[in-house]
Structures are given as C-alpha cells and as structure tokens.
Amino acid sequence: MDTHIVITLPRWDDITEYLSSFSKEIVDSCKNKQIRITTVEKERVTRKGFISSIRKNTKMFIFNGHGAPNCICGHKDEELISLGVNDYLLKDKITYARSCWSFSELGQVCVGKKSGCFIGYILPFQFVVEEKWVSNPLKDNTARVFFETSNLVPLGLIKGNTAINSNENSKRSMLKAMNKILKYKEKGNRAILEALWNNYYSQKLVGNGEMTLF
C-alpha cells in the first residue's frame, strides 16, 4: 500500500522505555498489513534522525516521548517538533502524539492554520507500573491497560478507520477498562482507575477527524 508511517521509539528513561516497548503492537500490525513503517529508535530519535525518516508518501506520525505544550521531544528531550519552528512538517498529516501536553498548543496551532489531524493530550499522559517490571515493561500487566487502550488510536487508523472513530474507540476502551477495574476491590485499582480517567479526559482530537490512512 502506498502509504508510509513514521514512529518514534526513544528509550532513555523508564517512561520512554515503557512507551516504546508497548508500541511493538503498532509496528507488528503495520508489518502484518504490509504497511511501510519507519521506526526511529533510541539515540536516533533526534530532530535530524526524525526528519530524515520522512518520505514523500508519509501520511502519519506516531510520537512517543516527553513533551510540552509547544513541543514533542525525542532522545534526551531533544525537540523533534517545535511550535513556530518546524510544525509545518505536520501539515496534511495524521499525528498521534503520546506525549504530555502537546495537544494544548502544538496540536491546536498546527492544524488551525494548516490542515491535517492531531490526536494528543492536554495533560500529562499517565500510567502506573509495577516496580519489579521496570526493566522488562512487556511483562507488566498493570501498565498494559494504559497502552492497550491508547494504542487503539494508531491501530484503528492502520485498520482503515477514520481518525475520529479511532480516537473514540480508544476512549471507549478506557471507560470499559475502568468499569472492569471497579468490579475488584484491590488497593492499587484506585490508582489505575484515576490514571486511566486522566488519559480519557485529556486525549483530544483536533482538525480533520474524517482523515484515514488510505
């Protein structure tokens, strides 16, 4: 299929290690569907490394990493996309930024004056982990629910769904997970529930929600 995705996978602290480890499902899904995806990994997640991964037919960006209202970061917080500097790179693209706060300014402005679709977070993306799995995130079943639900944004798009449907489906899955958690009275469940609510509440879409990958 003549469409291309770029995904950033930084791994320089616990948080980026989890974000990138649980993105395996997204990369695997692309490979299974024979969709071209370029993974920008570890110390290559610099502005230069990111820009060099963009092709003429790149239609979607998936960012994992720290962020701020005016930027999305990569390895050791190098700014990949900065408001007013290179936000034009997102023009006409579908962007999913699993990074804190980036929706609030970057998402609004880059779509407001150009075109495309941006899905991101108005607050920090939160997740709860188990201490014993910090060095092996994929075995962490406590953290899994945060990524299985948020991964549904890119996975929905990869399946051919619209951005708005993918976002809504992801948010619905967060609510379903919360309902399930409420059935069990374990001490940590409350912390998981509140972090999931934070992500549900803060995950937003702006721009052309009817965009699809194909």
Binding residues for other proteins, per CB under 8 A?
13-15, 18, 66, 77, 100-101, 123-132, 134, 142, 172, 175-176, 178-179, 182, 187-188, 190-191, 194-195, 197-198, 200-201
Q: Which is nearer to other proteins, 77 or 105 (CB)?
A: 77
We find the least distance from the C-beta atom of residue 1 to other proteins, in angstroms, to be 32
We find the least distance from the C-beta atom of residue 82 to other proteins, in angstroms, to be 17
Element (H or E) spanning 28, and its range? helix 24-32
Q: How many CB atoms lie within 10 A of CB 52?
A: 12
Q: Which is nearer to other proteins, 33 or 176 (CB)?
A: 176
User: Phi and psi (nearest 5°) for 34?
Assistant: 55, 40
Q: Which is nearer to other proteins, 85 or 182 (CB)?
A: 182
Cα gap 159→29, rounded to integer Å: 9
Element (H or E) spanning 68, and its range? strand 67-68
| Cβ–Cβ under 8 Å, residues 3 and 59 | yes
Nearest to 104 by CA among 93, 116, 120: 120
We find the least distance from the C-beta atom of residue 134 to other proteins, in angstroms, to be 7
Nearest to 64 by CA among 127, 131, 15: 15
Distances from the Cα of 164 to the Cα of 19, 36, 188, 208, angstroms: 22, 22, 32, 8
Q: Which is nearer to other proteins, 77 or 148 (CB)?
A: 77
We find the least distance from the C-beta atom of residue 63 to other proteins, in angstroms, to be 14
Q: Which is nearer to other proteins, 88 or 201 (CB)?
A: 201
